[in-house]
Amino acid sequence: MTDIALSTEAQVPTPMLPPKAFRRLWGPTPPAPLAGFPKSKRVCIVGFSGTRGDAPYADPDMEIWGLNDIFEVIPRCDRLFQVHQRGEVETHTTRTEGKPHPERLRELTCPIIMGETWPELPNSVAYPLARVIARLGGSISDYFTNTISYMIALAIAEGYREIHVYGVDMAVGSEYESQRPSCEYFLGLAVGRGIKVVIPPGSDLLKTRFRYGLQAAAAAGFDAKCDATLKIVGGRHDTAEQAERQLTEVCLKYQGAEHALREAGSTIVQILDPAGALDRHACPAEARPAAASLLNALRNEVGAKVTSVLEGVTKRFGEAAAEREKARTMKHMNAGARQAVTEMRKTWRECT
């Protein structure tokens, strides 16, 4: 993502009179870090996924809210949300610069919305959880499974008329899948209150491929195609797995043959060693030269034969091992393809 150069005027729009919703939430005298807010009626919440690069950073009438250490990778951040426990924050290092997170937080000039105010962070502001829940319908809205949900809820409670969400996918099959319903709940709550919600096409939030019931035939066709693909890929995987097992057995046999030949060759060479053999058989002195010559010739011949056979076995082992590696690679490729089709089946329904 290319950083966008912003003028001072673009970064700090002219402050507007806080709306009634903001004043009711924070009181007539909000915490000092929020004294100049809100700067507009429009806010863009930015997460870490790919669409964060498309967020309207250059729009001077758009507030930009980020989370955690995202300030290291976006052009500007008007408010930062860090709602994790103090112990977790204190031991965290930023993912881009690798610096202690608290150290980087102290360098920021924007308000930092946290679970509690930190005395050593002058810009920290405690998230008004009880008041947000009360303004959003009571305990039914106590449904926070991620930081983005806190951000959306606060934007609703403060009276923003537009909420844009970029860099947030929470795709099915990802580690954030379980967090998605909470985000979508608060986005639905915003729409129900007449707030304009903007989600980029590349995000999976608030999207589904098929309308339940009304597009059953299309969904069934998609499932049938996935089933057929899974059957083909699964068959290739099983064939490769069987080939890998068979070739593993062949390799083990060749390895055993190699070991046996090396041991046999060594033993035969020792047996045919003239010095030892002639002594063991009490060969007369006059016959020793001829016998030694014969044993040496025999030892060399047996050694050459063993070496030749061993080279052949080693070559066949190498070929079998190479074929086994191909089978193993094919097995892993098809296992990956099977996983990809399975994930696609789940996620494709969630996006347009």
pLDDT in tens, 297-321: 777 777 788 888 888 888 888 888 8
Confidence of residue 259 (pLDDT cuts 50, 70, 90): confident
For 163-205, how does the pLDDT look when each residue is reduced to its tens digit (9 = 90+)? 999 999 876 555 577 888 999 999 999 999 999 999 998 888 8
pLDDT of the residue at 281:
64
Residue 69, pLDDT > 60, answer yes
Residue 208 lies in a domain: no
Residue 207 lies in a domain: no
Residue 3 lies in a domain: no
Please provide the distance, in angstroms rounded to a whole number, between the alpha carbons at the two ends of the chain. 24
For 18-54, how does the pLDDT look when each residue is reduced to its tens digit (9 = 90+)? 678 888 899 888 899 998 888 889 999 999 988 999 9
For 103-127, how does the pLDDT look when each residue is reduced to its tens digit (9 = 90+)? 999 999 999 999 999 999 999 999 9
Q: Across the chain, what does the average pLDDT equal?
A: 83
CATH of the domain at 275: 1.10.287
Confidence of residue 11 (pLDDT cuts 50, 70, 90): very low
Query: Does 153 share its domain with 187?
Result: yes
Gap between the Cα atoms of 15 and 18, Å rounded = 8
Residue 209 lies in a domain: no
pLDDT of the residue at 15:
46
Query: Does 65 share its domain with 111?
Result: yes
Gap between the Cα atoms of 100 and 122, Å rounded = 18
Query: Does 190 share its domain with 220?
Result: no
Residue 338 lies in a domain: yes
Query: Does 223 share its domain with 336?
Result: yes
Give the residue from 138, 131, 133, 172 showing the smallest Cα distance to 149.
Answer: 133
Gap between the Cα atoms of 114 and 128, Å rounded = 9
Query: Does 33 share its domain with 166?
Result: yes
Confidence of residue 132 (pLDDT cuts 50, 70, 90): very high
Using alpha carbons only, what angle is made at residue 177 by residues 73 and 51, rounded to the nearest 5 degrees? 30
Query: Does 184 share its domain with 305?
Result: no
Q: Which domain holds residue 150?
A: 8-198
Contacts of 345 (CB under 8 A, 6+ apart): 222, 223, 226
Q: Find the mean pLDDT for residues 219-234.
A: 74
pLDDT of the residue at 7:
33
Copy the structure tokens of residue 153: 């809820």
Query: Does 42 share its domain with 169?
Result: yes
Helix (DSSP H) and strand (DSSP E) numbers for the chain: 10, 7
Residue 204 lies in a domain: no
pLDDT of the residue at 2:
38
pLDDT of the residue at 72:
93
pLDDT of the residue at 346:
67
CATH of the domain at 45: 3.90.1480
Last residue of one domain, picked from the residues 164, 198, 232: 198
Query: Does 248 share its domain with 291?
Result: yes
Residue 255 lies in a domain: yes
Overall number of domains in the chain: 2
Give the sign of the dihedral formed by CA 232, CA 233, CA 234, CA 238: positive
Give the residue from 188, 205, 108, 195 showing the smallest Cα distance to 143.
Answer: 188
Query: Does 190 share its domain with 41?
Result: yes
Query: Does 28 share its domain with 175?
Result: yes
Query: Does 245 share its domain with 308?
Result: yes
Query: Does 173 share its domain with 44?
Result: yes
Gap between the Cα atoms of 177 and 171, Å rounded = 6
Gap between the Cα atoms of 292 and 285, Å rounded = 11
pLDDT of the residue at 297:
78
